Structure 1
Amino acid sequence: MAHRILIVEDQPDICKLIRMTLEFGDFEIHEAHDGESGLNMVRAIMPDVVLLDVMMPGLLDGYQVCDRIKKDPVLQKIRVVMLTARGQATDLAAGEAVGADAYLVKPFSPLELIERVENLVSASA
């Protein structure tokens, strides 16, 4: 059974890199390009893992999306990996405060991304 992955990333090149990295695994990959559409897609497709950029255009940033996912009883079991260029201790603490399951700093290793996603998928199975 393919595990559903939602990529919420506003940069097309990074989105493409993530998709190319994961398409060799047993994943059904979906994309959204801002926080609002990402949150709507989370509700619609109920992914196993959300790969969530922090800084995005629109009304909701990645922290706000993660916070809403983790506070919603229907969605809270969905695993969230924050993907961001912001790697300061305060950024990591903000991700932890909203319930992120993992935090990867850009540029990230494709192998590390695959490993994190596979670990989260197997932990939720």
Structure 2
Amino acid sequence: MMRFDWKQVLPALLLGCLLGFWTGAILGHRRAPRGPERMLDKFSRELRLEAGQRDSVKTVLETFRPRFDAQNERLLELRMDMNKEIAKLLDPEQQKRFQEMQARWEARHKRRQGAQ
């Protein structure tokens, strides 16, 4: 029976794990584009759309896009109004932390918008 020298195997195993984690962290953040193109790709793949169907579905998605965008703007306004009401209920230290939370959310939102 073969015995492993763990003093040699363990560093190699750890190095492999670190390389795998590092590669996954870098490549994992490269997301597919969001929005209609992503939906179209998913529909095409999962529904096995033919070329004509793909073109028609793309047209439908493009037709509805402005309506979704308008709703997104309205949701942003609602969220801002809600945050103002919540801030009124907080003490000064909580308000500061709440503003920091909002800043983190905005940064994530902008990064996601940039990926589209």
Bucket of the pairwise TM-score, normalised by the shorter protein: under 0.3
Larger radius of gyration: 2
The one of the two structures with greater contact order (alpha-carbon pairs below 8 A, sep at least 6) is 2
Point out the structure with the larger helix share: 2
So what's the TM-score if we normalise by structure 1?
0.23
